Amino acid sequence: MKYAIEYAKETIRDKVISYGFTTNLTLLNEKIAKYLASVGNMHILCSIDGPEDVHDRCRVFKNGEGTHKQVMKNFDILVNAFKNVKNSTVKVNSVLTPPFTFEKMNYINNYFNKYKNKIKDFSVEITYPVDGSLPEEFYDETLQVSNVIDRWNKDSFYKKYDTCINEEMVWKDLFRIHNRLITQQASNWVPFNACCVPGARRIYVDTKGYIYPCERIGKAPILGHVDYGIKLDELLKNYIIDYSKKSIDSCKNCWAVKMCPICYVNRMTEKEISEKAHLNCELYRQAIKSDLSFYHSMLNNNPERLKKINEISYY
């Protein structure tokens, strides 16, 4: 990593570069932390699931021993190294392991809250485990509460609880509803869901040199390769023409089309848009309905808090 960072600094002198990575912290030490803090524009996401009993249920060394003690020792080293560094951040990503309940969310939040005073812009993002990544014995417990992360985030936001959980997800949902297209007359215009222009906002290069639209996309047609650049004709075919042809029948009749948050992530195969791309649309529509309702509750009951929405931009 140091080699890559120094190479980027040396090679790209006319641009501001920002660096970011995710770590489980097990190999970090004072020397590494000091170097990372000296780089500037460095954004580190640490994978910590919560207190020891929560974290060690899934995160263990090869010998089965939990990693929490070592991780938290190293997290403190990192926080200490970054506490006075400007333009850099240290944040936490916490994977919610079962049970999926409000109590569990509170437990995780209370554990991390103390770090808010130790480091600037600290926040925790809680995410669900990737499909298939949990041990089988957990499955029954995952069925308890649906959509708990989103509901907990919005509830805390609405009631202004003291949390360290990243509010950005809530603002993004509100932003999408606030900026939906409203016309005096019904319009036939169908937007391209929430898809980016591939390669325009960002690109992601894998270790073999293949280029993709972003690091979140998973399986997807490549945009090109570092040796020959981006192939615009293939990009146009795979990401615009074919995507559009296979989506229009579902999307043109969908009431949520102007607020749809769906993009290419998890909807592509290595060749094209997946046949299963629209299977979960009803779930998305329910989420959009709940976002609409949440937005109007905020507008009704707390318009002052919502004012900030005119100063932010996510696109």
Candidates 93-101, 113-121, 208-216, 294-302 — which segment interacts with ligand SF4 by CB under 6 A? 208-216
Q: Given candidates 39, 92, 96, 262, which one binds ligand SF4 under the rule CB under 6 A?
A: 262
* Closer to ligand SF4 by Cβ: residue 98 or 218: 218
What pairing do the DSSP bridges indicate for beta strands 210-212 and 42-47? unpaired
Distance CA 158, CA 165 (A): 13
C-alpha pair distances (Å), 214 with each of 1, 28, 269, 277, 306: 20, 27, 15, 18, 30
Q: Which of 44, 92, 254, 298 binds ligand SF4 (CB under 6 A)?
A: 254
What's the min distance (Å) between Cβ of 259 and ligand SF4?
Answer: 8
In angstroms, give the least distance from the CB of 236 to ligand SF4.
16
Residue type, 247: S
Please report how close the Cβ of residue 304 comes to ligand SF4 at its closest, in angstroms. 31
Residue with tokens 């069925």: 143
CB contact set of 237 (below 8 Å; sequence gap of 6+): none
Specify the residue, 58 or 265, whose C-beta has the smaller distance to ligand SF4. Answer: 265
Token pair for 98: 């079962």
Residues 273-302 that bind ligand SF4 (CB under 6 A): 278, 281, 284-285
CA angle, residues 145, 180, 212, in degrees to nearest 5: 75
The residue (of 187 and 250) whose beta carbon lies closer to ligand SF4 is 250
DSSP state of 196: -
* Residue 95 binding ligand SF4, by CB under 6 A: no
User: Interface residues with ligand SF4 (CB under 6 A)?
Assistant: 193-196, 201-202, 213-214, 216-217, 250-251, 254, 256-257, 260, 262-265, 278, 281, 284-285
